Amino acid sequence: MNLETPLVYVKGVGPQRAAMLETKGLVTVADLLHYPPFRYEDRSNLKSIDKLAPGEMATVLVEVRATKLPVLKNKRVGLFEATLGDAGRMPLIGRWFNGGYLAKVLAEGMRLAVFGKVEFDTYRGELLMKNPEFEILSEDDEDGDTTLHTGRVVPIYEAAQRVSPKMMRVLMRRVLDSIPPIDDMLPQSLRDQLKLPDRWTAIQGIHFPNEESDIRLLNAFRSPAHVRMILEEFFWLECGLALKRHKAREVIGIQFALNEQVREKIKAMLPFKPTGAQKRVLGEIARDMAAPQPMSRLLQGDVGSGKTLVAAEAAIIAIENGYQVAVLAPTEILASQHFAYFKNLFNKLGYQCVMLSGSFKPKEKDAIRRLIASGLIHVAIGTHALLEDDVQFHKLGLAIVDEQHRFGVMQRLRLMEKGQKPDVLVMTATPIPRTLALTVYGDLDTSVIDELPPGRRPIITTHVASPRIEEVWSFLQGEVEAGRQAYVVYPVIEESETQAMKAAEQMYLMLSQTVFPQFQVGLLHGKLAQSDKEAVMAAFKQGTTQILVSTTVIEVGVDVPNATVMVIEQAERFGLAQLHQLRGRVGRGGNQSYCLLVTEKLSETGKERIRTMVESNDGFYIAEMDLRLRGPGEFFGTKQSGLPALRFGNILRDSELLEIARNEANAFIDHPPSETALRQAVAYLREHWQRRYGLVLVG
């Protein structure tokens, strides 16, 4: 048996359990060994019942003598009691509250290890444990040695369907006993410097900590074994990212010229004076574009910070050098808005822009594709349709991806492949907390627009419980009468745009007919045909409609500076990032803007989210809170997003270890201790990186 052996061949597994283990991604012996317990229990205090002292935490090996479901005034109260005994005469009572289900689990004659706090029931004169943890010990040898489960610090694993924590423990022991010690691939220099245990010791220490181990360190994932495995995982991850960056530096792409002509054109295009942050960021982008290596830059900026303007400036650099520009947007609405924005800015420069979307008629699409391929078009703006194989550019020099978090890494690559090593600029308004950015976008350079255009006033956010909705409407009326515009947004309920559409439709009818018959109300949702969507948006943009009732299709990017009120219905259903994005649709002009969060039923985290929104307008702070409330997996949503699959490390909990690993990895790749060490590391990464982290190792 070795690390690659499939778990099916491990004694006691077989096809059925193998399938269950696979649901947790456990296929090989190596996978199993990289499956750490989620907590540890100190069962080292193993005693017989007659030696138990009230107040202590102890583990006892017992047999079930009797069970009962006590009744109180003829009513079951969900209590379950078992009389437990061992070789001595004294019984121990196990009492479980809400333990009704145990009647089907525990039966007379079963052998158990129970673990808990010992109490003495003075009234009944009995020793007692309340809600003790327990494990059923089977008669056959499937459990292995009972010393695995008691008399020590015991690892508790997450079960894989019917493979119990106890079974995991047995398999872990079996595997560790049957494979040769694992080689340590972590560079010796690093191990010495950080005083890390070797890999074999660490793996053993994670699964079966020795007697000296500190239970608190174990449970905090900070035992030497844990620190070692976490650092190792982060180290290789960061090495892979560092190599990617190195590789990228060797690629020769386009060296755009930054001449007077480019400067003139940019000046001619600019509708207003760029902010200091916009200038700085453009400088960073221009430097990248002028360099021989292709640019891979992430442009972060809170909603409304003016990223699109910077993107337009970058586009001018490419176009004046004779190249085409692609702009990829996640939704049709955003694409058509960018299309309008770019057309408006570029008209006076004589640039040709087109838009391509999946919903266009085949003939239309054909014609647009031909234009793009001919090179007559300077800027092609579109949704996913832009990524299809039949879209070919004459000479693509710059690929811009807006709202990057909506796309996967593969989609970014697809777009890049449409040109000869084009420069890439990805933009996001969902600020990525630094630690996450290091892993998810670790292969990108980052620019941040940390300043809003002048004259913006912080949006005032208020929470309104739904019974007070009338106050919302009268406030809205005041704003519209003062010449402003408003959004009323509905959440997508259970992923169904159809239901959200119905809710929005109803609200639309009510607002347009009953509440505000004197105003023009528009309705926007995902099910409308593209031309209808455009018409609705155009009417709102021109101010013909004053109130826009919408589903979340307006979430990203929509820009109507005269809109000053954002009403979010059932705000408790939205995540923080989404609320912040929606709020960012107002406050885009000089007028004071408002966000009204209407809620129906609030959970604890719901309250927390609303409080965060009312308190803060800072996208970075909100993103950090969001990450904390939801965890990194959900924060990003899709697997594709490029979040590494980590076994030991946790980006939130271990951010300081991630920083260490990143520094060490960069130092190692930049100045390897020896050629051999580097070669070995690269070979190791080739073999493991992709599979281990689920990330793409390009090249």
Applying CB under 5 A, which residues contact Mg ion? 557
Q: Which is nearer to ligand ADP, 231 or 568 (by Cβ)? A: 568
> Minimum distance between the CB of residue 452 and ligand ADP, rounded to whole angstroms?
8
Distance of alpha carbon 97 from alpha carbon 100, whole angstroms: 8
What does the per-residue mask of binding to ligand ADP show for 581-620, with x meaning CB under 6 A? Answer: -------x--------------------------------
What string of DSSP letters covers 130-185? ES-EEEEEPSSGGG--GGGTSSSEEEEPPPBTTB-HHHHHHHHHHHHHHSPPPP--
Which of 135, 238, 451, 559 is the binder for ligand ADP (CB under 6 A)? 559
Q: Which of 618, 602, 327 is nearest to 459 (CA)?
A: 618
Q: Are 294 and 423 in contact (CB under 8 A)?
A: yes
Task: Report the residue from 309, 334, 416, 548 that binds ligand ADP according to the rule CB under 6 A.
Answer: 309
In angstroms, rounded to a whole number, what is the distance separating the alpha carbons of residues 699 and 694? 15
Please give the DSSP secondary-structure letter assigned to residue 46: B
Instruction: Kindly state the smallest distance separating residue 20's Cβ from Mg ion, in Å.
Output: 45
Q: What is the DSSP letter of 652?
A: T
| Angle (CA) 492 556 323, round 5° | 140
The span of 186-194, 319-327, 506-514, 557-565 binding ligand ADP (CB under 6 A) equals 557-565
> Distances from the Cα of 215 to the Cαs of 43, 154, 226, in angstroms?
11, 10, 12
Min CB(665)–ligand ADP separation in Å: 32
State the distance between the two ends of the chain, measured CA to CA, in whole angstroms: 33
Distance (Å, whole) CA 691 – CA 26: 12
Stretch that binds ligand ADP, among 30-38, 136-144, 523-531, 556-564 (CB under 6 A): 556-564
Q: Does 305 engage in binding with ligand ADP (CB under 6 A)?
A: yes
**Among Mg ion, ligand ADP, none, what does residue 278 contact (CB within 5–8 Å per kind)?**
ligand ADP
Q: Which is nearer to Mg ion, 115 or 346 (CB)?
A: 346
Q: Does 278 contact ligand ADP by CB under 6 A?
A: yes
Residue 114's binding partner among ligand ADP, Mg ion, none (Cβ under 5 to 8 angstroms by kind) is: none
Rule CB under 6 A: is residue 308 a binding residue for ligand ADP? yes
Read off the amino acid at residue 657: L
Question: Cβ 539 to Mg ion, closest distance in Å?
Answer: 21
CB of 38 to ligand ADP, least distance (A): 40
Minimum CB distance to Mg ion smaller for 453 or for 557 = 557
Residue 191 per-residue DSSP state: H
The torsion of the CA quartet 210, 213, 216, 217, rounded to 10 degrees, works out to -110
Q: Which of 91, 100, 144, 561 binds ligand ADP (CB under 6 A)?
A: 561
CA-based nearest residue to 243, from 598, 578, 691, 685: 685
Angle at 624 between CA 623 and CA 628, to 5 degrees: 115
Residue 274's binding partner out of Mg ion, ligand ADP, none, with CB under 5 to 8 Å set by partner kind: ligand ADP
Q: Please list every residue from 436 through 475 that binds ligand ADP, using CB under 6 A.
A: 453
Whichever of 585 and 662 has its CB closer to ligand ADP, that residue is 585
Task: Quote the CA–CA distance of 172 and 207 in Å, as a whole number.
Answer: 7
- The nearer residue to ligand ADP, 67 or 305, going by C-beta atoms, is 305
**Where do contacts with ligand ADP occur on this chain (CB under 6 A)?**
272-275, 278, 301, 303-309, 429, 453, 557, 559, 561, 588
